[in-house]
Structure 1
Amino acid sequence: MSTAAAPQLTVRAVILSIVLAVILAAANTYLGLFAGMTIASAIPAAVVSMGVLRLLGGGGILENNIVQTGASAGSSIASGVIFTIPALVILGYWDAFKYSWVLAIAGLGGLLGVIFSVPLRRSLIVDQGLAFPEGKAAAEVLKTGENPGQGIRTLGVAATLGGLAKLGAESGLRLFPDAAASAAWVGKGIAYVGTNLSPALLGVGYIVGLNIGIVVLLGGIIGWNVAIPIYSAFFLDSDPALAARLAGASAAEAAGAIWSAQIRYLGVGAMLIGGIWTLISLRKSLFSGIRSGFAATRAGADGIVAETERDIPMKLIAIGLVVFTLPLLALYQNIVGQWSASVPMTIIMIVAGFLFVSVSAYMAGLVGSSNNPVSGITISTILFAAIVLVVLLGRESSIGAVAAIMIGAVVCCAACIGGDNLQDLKAGHIVGATPWKQQVMLAIGAVSSALIMAPILNLLMTAYGVAGAPGSEAFPRPLPAPQANLMASVAKGIFGGQLPWNTIGVGAAIGAVIIAVDSWLKATGKKFRIPVLACAIGIYLPIELMVPIFLGGLLSHIVERRLGGAKNEEEHGRIHRKGMLFAAGLITGEALMGIFIAIPIVVTENKDVLALPASLHFGGWLGLALLAFIAWLLYRYAIRRDPA
């Protein structure tokens, strides 16, 4: 019996995949709003699948592959949603996330991502043979079947630790604060140092590695240790309103206010220039991928195709494109109320969707899904859509910014799913799976995840607040939602909004310098790179979030040095598999606990419902000690020689 004839799309595989997709979507929603990053989840999903199916009597490699395919859609849909849809609340268009609208945008965007990526599979995976590192790593886990019971225990221990740390922090029992920070006035300038105490951010850093960890911390240093002191010393007097607010304020309060009013817009400028640069730098690869995808589709249209090369038929793709696009046309018409605008919006969405799914798929093949610059792609979409809509609706349109966000949201969901789809199809190609079955499972996973996005978003917003949204000032530490705030700023700025354009211009200049330095590093063959979007995120977010990400990346580097270094992607995956499972457990445990904590807060309408008496609040030293202990455990698990 051929490998592809083994059981794949079974009922139990579909059910398990949906459950995992929903859990991973919820966890990545929290993580994305909190830290501006999400993680690829194929490997943890593969380990859990092998363990659960073994308890149910055993499952073959292809059945496990189907489970991880559908489950990984959860993190992709979460990325597409949290990067864009909260902008509608930030703009004041919604006061809560509307279920039917979020479902339509996320679900239909995800389905379009599957459709647009089908013609690219043969080109990028078979013909060009791109690396798709997460796909290869997932295939290795599936092929070796390394002791899934031990892997699940690793995930379980880490998730428990991450969850308990979140429960003990500021939004839970309040045993210790969310961050340990210190600031002081130095003349007219401000010196600021601090770290968030989140184990999830430590896990993120371990997964993304030392290079990205250094770059995001560099962005934080530019914003908090360079720009804020310069602004407070030399430019604060030119802003009387801000200066009046800071009269008598502590150094920490002043740093936060200056960052919020001015400095974070340096990150906006850097991300804008980074998004444009993403398109420019990928133009040749984009057109090459599209051409070869269509050529492969035409070549295989009439021949007998092996089971391991069968995609969803192009006739069904064409029908699906029409069926999934018409509801979006109706949605856009409902927003703008005139066909002369809604039809161009739909055309922009289709064209940009296909183009950027191609870009996302190609970049996922080169650098992996976790480092895929989807936010830059989305910025470019919103910027272009906003400019077109200015012509159609006028610059003073009250709905123009919302319409641009709606286009970008669908494209972002499609691009996230497209990159993820190709990673999963790469794993399937290695283990001998049937592509169309994976594509169907990914569509099921995408829709299943979309079903829970609005309730999760509403729960998190009600309990923690979303930075930039009306009423967020009532929350001590609202979720930053950096990409959504950026998208809202870009759209609002195009349609007559008041933004600090001088600061944004300086940020764009910083971004251009970063791009020039990174291009030089690439040309000279240096391993270390400075991706502009990662540095821009560091500028845009509080530096305290970047410190544990850097520490996690440093820990990853130490583990690799201890275990001998990686000669290639497969060796890198083998070295870091145990550590990545532990890191993924920290992220999942903390994120899910954050969601569970939100439930009593929302039900009682009391942010302090779980807080212990003040006599049991131990301060930042307890959180630092706990974070150090968890880092030590992560290191010990990562260097263990026994199978995981």
Structure 2
Amino acid sequence: MPPSDHGPLAPAASDQIFPGAAADGINPTPSVNANAVPRRPHRQFTFRGIAVGFLVGTLLSAVNVYFGLQTGWISLMSMPAALLSFVIFQASSPFLAYSFGEKENVFVQTVAVAVGCMPLSSAVISVVPAIEKLLDPSEGGPVRLPLMSLILWSLGLAFFGVIFSVPLRKQLIIKEKLRFPSGTATATMITILHKGQPGTGEPRQEQLQPEAYRPSEAGRSREDNAQFGSADATHDVWQSQTKLLSVAFAISAGYTLLTFFLPVLRDLPVFGRNAAQMWLWALNPSPAYIGQGIIMGQSTTLAMLFGAIVGWGILSPLAKSLGWAPGIVNDWKTGSRGWIVWISLAIMLADSVVSLSMLAGNTLAPLAKRHLRRAGWTVVPSTEDDSMADDDEGNGDGVDGCDEDDEDAPPEEQIGMRMFLITLLLSTGLCTTTIYYCFPQVPIYLTIIALCVAFVLSVMAARALGQTDLNPVSGISKIAQLFFALIVSKASPSAVLINLVAGAISEAAGQQAGDILQDLKTSHLLQASPKAQFYGQLIGAAYGAVTSSLLYRLYDSVYSIPSKMFEMPAAIVWIDCSRLLYGEGLPPYAKEFCLAFGLAFAAVTAIKSSETVGQGRLARWLPGGIAVAIGMYNTPSFTLARVTGGVVEGWWRRQASRPEDLKRRETGLILVASGAIIGEGIASLVNLGLTVLTAQSS
């Protein structure tokens, strides 16, 4: 049925989920932009989509809890979520009442990602274990949250990041047209998956890829025709991609199951038994870690390797030999591991303060200059760049406003100001109430201040993600901790606890707002309804808050946490950062090394962030501070596997001779990495069940 110029198709009276929702989904109207591809009516917000989103999201959440407690990292996995959703619906297509289209695919992966990223948003891999297991009695702890309190805490942190994304979407995606590379890549992948699939009725929207990536018919190779040609060829591509994902999944899952019976496979003494046992230089050849390295890329993983060499190869032996850390190397209190973690924290803080300060300056300066000039003030002589900035055309890099004709979804598919304000007030009230219930030591006014700080920092996180594809949530949380260390007195008996809770609020906002905007970029490129995504994100976040809490309690009840398997490094970094900011717990000579490394990486970050030299040869060779710090506080066994994946990623990309060949290679890498990560995550749940059975039988 062709779209109507007079509004959406009328929804059934009993199924008016929200304006624009039809019997089982949303029917978009034509775009107001005459040059846009016509919007075709089909379902988006669907109950089957929510169900599949919950299923895929639960798998992603389990994976992220598992790896988060091990390494402090989680994977957003928008592309794996979209791919898994497509595979599930494709496999069940004979039983579907109506076809599964691109826009419903966007909705399902949005719900799945909202569920899957909640382990970080709810802080069950970081702040919660820090409060429950590491907080000293003198600091107001430890505080053990009952399961219901943990769920309430997670629900309190679940929504305001979603709400913040509403105004940020308009500014960063519609006006400034930031790239959001992962969101754009996900949109391209969804388009390729659905192109030519029987019964979709969804034409491929060629504007997703530059003209250079669409060779003429005569110039296409066999592979090009498979990607751009007939439905049969595209179906063959889908089958090959599914096979690649399945093989990676099977290898990863099989290896993980094998580690249950042969635990030695988790730590191979590749540098000798003494290096492995005494200095922790071993290799954990985890397929998932290799997959994460592929996603991180070569430059990030090599920076992590540099951090591991400096921290574990130089500073650790130095601290032990000079008596600054006389204990066992792996001991957090007296060993060199506990000594070098302070250096990594100093690097994180320096990198965060400098990079976010420069980001704030780059964001505010052009806007201030523009408004002053419009008011009749001459700030500096006009330059070519300034005149370009004043032409009201989005440039893709995001420094200015937009033309009134910038394409956006129809008004009925957007979240209005009234709904934004209502949900903002409700989420603020929920967060304030639940935090006071769980932690009465935290004054209500400090929670409200934390929410205000969270919005400011979420703007920075979203902008950084849109420009670089990296969400600096680690740095954001450290900035929030630094801010609250300045306003909460050291004399307060709960100062460290308050610092942790306030930092968790800011991290939740920055992580959610940034990652959700990736999904909104995907939605915008595929002309899907942002309102459908908004409600899907809220539903997914609510379900994810409960799921992540249950999963954390499950792992905590079955395994010993902390332990060699679950070292929860993120929790250690959080609480040690709070103690560092309050000037407590520093071992001998750690202060001097913190100052030296902090100043050095502040300079490095300034060079890399500078617009004038940031793309130069020197800047490209300098390692990123956050990556170096992560290489220091994680043991080498975790870093080496990721470096392997990063090197493979760099080598594989360099083999591409043409842009379209590079696209295919990138897709293959993502499929392999996704299969490896998901395979180990699912198999880890089987290992968990085997552990329970073993414990019961003994």
Per the normalisation by structure 2, the TM-score is: 0.75
Distance across 2 between alignment mates of 1:185 and 1:596:
33
- State the AA in 2 paired with 1:209: G
Q: Is it true that 1:372 corresponds to 2:471 in the alignment? A: yes
Q: Is it true that 1:314 corresponds to 2:379 in the alignment? A: no
Aligned pairs for 1:541-620 (under 5 A) are 541-564=634-657, 573-602=663-692, 605=695
- Pick from 127, 139, 149: which aligns with 1:84? 127
Distance across 1 between alignment mates of 2:40 and 2:150:
36
- Residue 254 of structure 1 and its aligned partner are, at CA, apart by 9.0
- Residue 328 of structure 1 and its aligned partner are, at CA, apart by 2.5
Distance across 2 between alignment mates of 1:220 and 1:374:
21
Distance across 1 between alignment mates of 2:240 and 2:52:
19
Distance across 1 between alignment mates of 2:435 and 2:266:
40
Residues 41-89 of structure 1: CA deviation (Å, up to 9, x unaligned):
1111111222222323431111111111111223422223224332212
Describe the shift of the 1:185–1:100 C-alpha distance in structure 2 as closer, same or farther (beyond 3 A). closer
- State the AA in 2 paired with 1:455: L
Aligned pairs for 1:293-312 (under 5 A) are 306-307=409-410, 310-312=413-415
Aligned residue in 2 for 1:641: none
- SS of the aligned residue for 1:581 comes to helix
- Residue 465 of structure 1 and its aligned partner are, at CA, apart by 3.3
Contact 1:396 1:495 in 2 (8 A): no
Distance across 2 between alignment mates of 1:228 and 1:167:
33
Distance across 2 between alignment mates of 1:133 and 1:529:
23
Residues 25-52 of structure 1: CA deviation (Å, up to 9, x unaligned):
1111212222232222111111122222
- SS of the aligned residue for 1:443 comes to helix
Describe the shift of the 1:599–1:407 C-alpha distance in structure 2 as closer, same or farther (beyond 3 A). farther
Contact 1:206 1:555 in 2 (8 A): yes
Aligned residue in 2 for 1:33: 69
Q: Is it true that 1:259 corresponds to 2:336 in the alignment? A: yes
Residues 188-217 of structure 1: CA deviation (Å, up to 9, x unaligned):
xx8764212211111111111110110001
- Pick from 589, 606, 616: which aligns with 1:525? 616
Q: Which moved more, 1:80-89 or 1:95-104?
A: 95-104
- Pick from 340, 343, 356: which aligns with 1:279? 356
**Aligned residues: CA RMSD:** 3.3
Describe the shift of the 1:389–1:142 C-alpha distance in structure 2 as closer, same or farther (beyond 3 A). same
Contact 1:349 1:410 in 2 (8 A): yes
- State the AA in 2 paired with 1:320: T
- State the AA in 1 paired with 2:627: A
Per the normalisation by structure 1, the TM-score is: 0.81
Aligned residue in 2 for 1:399: 494
Describe the shift of the 1:138–1:254 C-alpha distance in structure 2 as closer, same or farther (beyond 3 A). closer
Describe the shift of the 1:285–1:315 C-alpha distance in structure 2 as closer, same or farther (beyond 3 A). farther
- Pick from 297, 308, 315: which aligns with 1:209? 297
Aligned residue in 1 for 2:35: none
Describe the shift of the 1:596–1:405 C-alpha distance in structure 2 as closer, same or farther (beyond 3 A). farther
- SS of the aligned residue for 2:158 comes to helix
- State the AA in 2 paired with 1:8: Q
Describe the shift of the 1:457–1:287 C-alpha distance in structure 2 as closer, same or farther (beyond 3 A). farther
Distance across 2 between alignment mates of 1:296 and 1:342:
39
- Residue 398 of structure 1 and its aligned partner are, at CA, apart by 3.3
Aligned residue in 1 for 2:459: 358
- Pick from 307, 312, 317: which aligns with 1:229? 317
- Residue 538 of structure 1 and its aligned partner are, at CA, apart by 0.5
Describe the shift of the 1:253–1:529 C-alpha distance in structure 2 as closer, same or farther (beyond 3 A). closer
Contact 2:656 2:662 in 1 (8 A): no
Between the aligned residues of both structures, percent identity stands at 24
Aligned residue in 1 for 2:158: 110
Higher helix share: 1
Aligned residue in 2 for 1:490: 577
Q: Is it true that 1:72 corresponds to 2:138 in the alignment? A: no
Q: Is it true that 1:384 corresponds to 2:483 in the alignment? A: yes
- SS of the aligned residue for 2:73 comes to coil
Identify the structure with bigger relative contact order (alpha carbons < 8 Å, sequence gap 6+).
Answer: 1
Distance across 2 between alignment mates of 1:598 and 1:448:
22
Aligned residue in 2 for 1:13: 49
Moved over 6 A (4+): 252-257, 288-293
Contact 2:341 2:573 in 1 (8 A): no
- Residue 590 of structure 1 and its aligned partner are, at CA, apart by 1.1
Distance across 2 between alignment mates of 1:12 and 1:480:
38
- Residue 518 of structure 1 and its aligned partner are, at CA, apart by 4.6
Q: Is it true that 1:176 corresponds to 2:269 in the alignment? A: no
Distance across 2 between alignment mates of 1:256 and 1:494:
18
Distance across 2 between alignment mates of 1:552 and 1:306:
39
- Residue 529 of structure 1 and its aligned partner are, at CA, apart by 4.9
- Pick from 453, 466, 491: which aligns with 2:561? 466
Aligned pairs for 1:116-135 (under 5 A) are 116-135=164-183
Describe the shift of the 1:506–1:4 C-alpha distance in structure 2 as closer, same or farther (beyond 3 A). farther
- Larger Rg over CA atoms: 2
Describe the shift of the 1:413–1:595 C-alpha distance in structure 2 as closer, same or farther (beyond 3 A). farther
Aligned residue in 2 for 1:506: 593
- SS of the aligned residue for 2:104 comes to helix
Distance across 1 between alignment mates of 2:417 and 2:450:
20
Give the length in aligned residue pairs. 571
- Residue 555 of structure 1 and its aligned partner are, at CA, apart by 0.6
- SS of the aligned residue for 1:195 comes to coil
Distance across 2 between alignment mates of 1:290 and 1:66:
34
- Residue 269 of structure 1 and its aligned partner are, at CA, apart by 1.8
- Residue 149 of structure 1 and its aligned partner are, at CA, apart by 4.4
- State the AA in 1 paired with 2:290: L
Contact 1:271 1:376 in 2 (8 A): yes
- SS of the aligned residue for 2:282 comes to strand
Describe the shift of the 1:595–1:89 C-alpha distance in structure 2 as closer, same or farther (beyond 3 A). farther
- Residue 343 of structure 1 and its aligned partner are, at CA, apart by 3.0
Contact 1:83 1:375 in 2 (8 A): no
Contact 2:319 2:336 in 1 (8 A): no
- SS of the aligned residue for 1:194 comes to coil
Residues 102-161 of structure 1: CA deviation (Å, up to 9, x unaligned):
333333323101111110112111221111011010010111115444434333322222
Describe the shift of the 1:173–1:557 C-alpha distance in structure 2 as closer, same or farther (beyond 3 A). same
- State the AA in 2 paired with 1:72: V
* Long gaps (5+) in structure 1: 247-251, 468-474, 610-644
Q: Is it true that 1:418 corresponds to 2:517 in the alignment? A: no
- SS of the aligned residue for 1:480 comes to coil
- State the AA in 1 paired with 2:604: V
- Residue 323 of structure 1 and its aligned partner are, at CA, apart by 1.4
- State the AA in 1 paired with 2:249: A
Describe the shift of the 1:112–1:363 C-alpha distance in structure 2 as closer, same or farther (beyond 3 A). same
Aligned residue in 1 for 2:431: 328
* Long gaps (5+) in structure 2: 4-29, 31-38, 136-140, 194-233, 372-397
- State the AA in 1 paired with 2:53: S
Aligned pairs for 1:136-151 (under 5 A) are 136-145=184-193, 147=235, 148-151=238-241
Aligned pairs for 1:50-69 (under 5 A) are 50-54=86-90, 55-56=92-93, 57=96, 58-69=99-110
Contact 2:316 2:337 in 1 (8 A): no
- Residue 352 of structure 1 and its aligned partner are, at CA, apart by 1.4
